[in-house]
Amino acid sequence: MSDLPTYETLLLTRAGRRLTITFNQPEVLNAFGAAMHREITEALVFAAADPGSDVIVLTGAGRAFSAGGDIARMQHFVDHPDDFAAEAEGAKRLIYALLEIDKPLVARINGPAVGLGATIALFCDVTFASETAKIGDPHVAIGLVAGDGGAVIWPQLVGMHRAKEFLLTGELLTAARAAEIGLINHVLPDDALDTAVDAFCAKLLAGSQPAIRWTKVTMNLELKRLAHALMDPGMAYESLSVRTEEHRARVQAFAAKARKP
């Protein structure tokens, strides 16, 4: 069995044949800075090949799954838009890494899952959320195109009309509303979340691993096709939106609001 790698922003733990990847920056609500953006892809690549696990759980430390983009990183791309090219390539690698894993991916959404945090959760195979969690993709709220995976996965889960409603407004949904429309699988009281996730993982681990993995691979073929069709144009449009004055003004307003006591 391979040793678990260590990361600056993530914590990997193992319980039997279950591997848990935890976003571990609770002081910033697990927002995606440069290190976490890079490390989550590395961790997913490790998890895919890890001989010691059959089920992977993604979750967040503290009171958030992930609050999405880090405001300082957004400001960096406003000031240095050419640097966004590397970010776009990293976003594509992340989505493809999620789709290449043949083991079941379970999202334990313990709190807000926003922007890229929501995208990662929704690319998991089965999702469990705390009743106090909220989920949404508010790229448009800061003048950005939802190009880093949201435009791929939301329509597959809730249909095109509902996906457009929420991606074009950036509305955050309660866990109950998300479950009602089929965006997530299960919503639980906070104190019942772990029990539900544990029971489901145990059910998967008791099953036929080859049959489970190959069934997932088959179901993911169409999703991979869509991702490969949409991620390039999606990130190209997001790269354009990074350069707009609209985005600059909204990032500055967001940063000013965040600085208020």
pLDDT of the residue at 209: 98
**For residue 16, is it within any domain?**
yes
At 112-139, the pLDDT tens digits run: 999 999 999 999 999 999 999 999 999 9
Task: Give the integer Cα–Cα distance in Å for 57 and 124.
Answer: 9
2 occurs within a structural domain: no
With respect to residue 3, please indicate whether it lies within any of the assigned structural domains: no
Give a yes or no: residue 64 inside a domain: yes
Report the length, in residues, of the chain. 261
When divided into structural domains, the chain yields a total of 1
Look at residue 259 in the predicted model and tell me its pLDDT: 67
Our CA dihedral for 19, 25, 29, 32, rounded to 10 degrees, sits at: -90
pLDDT at 71: 86
CATH number of the domain enclosing 23? 3.90.226.10
Predicted confidence at residue 260, as pLDDT, reads 63
Instruction: Please identify every stretch of the chain with a pLDDT value under 50, giving residue numbers as ranges.
Output: 1
Domain of residue 41: give its range. Answer: 10-259
Structural domain contains residue 229: yes
CA dihedral 84, 87, 89, 92 (to 10 degrees): -130
pLDDT reported for residue 215: 98
DSSP conformation letters of 201-228: HHHHHTS-HHHHHHHHHHHHHHHHHHHH
Is 203 inside a domain boundary? Answer: yes
- pLDDT of res. 261: 56
Query: Is there a domain that residue 1 lies in?
Result: no
Residues 57/226/39/119 CA torsion (nearest 10 deg): -60
Query: Does 4 reside within a domain?
Result: no
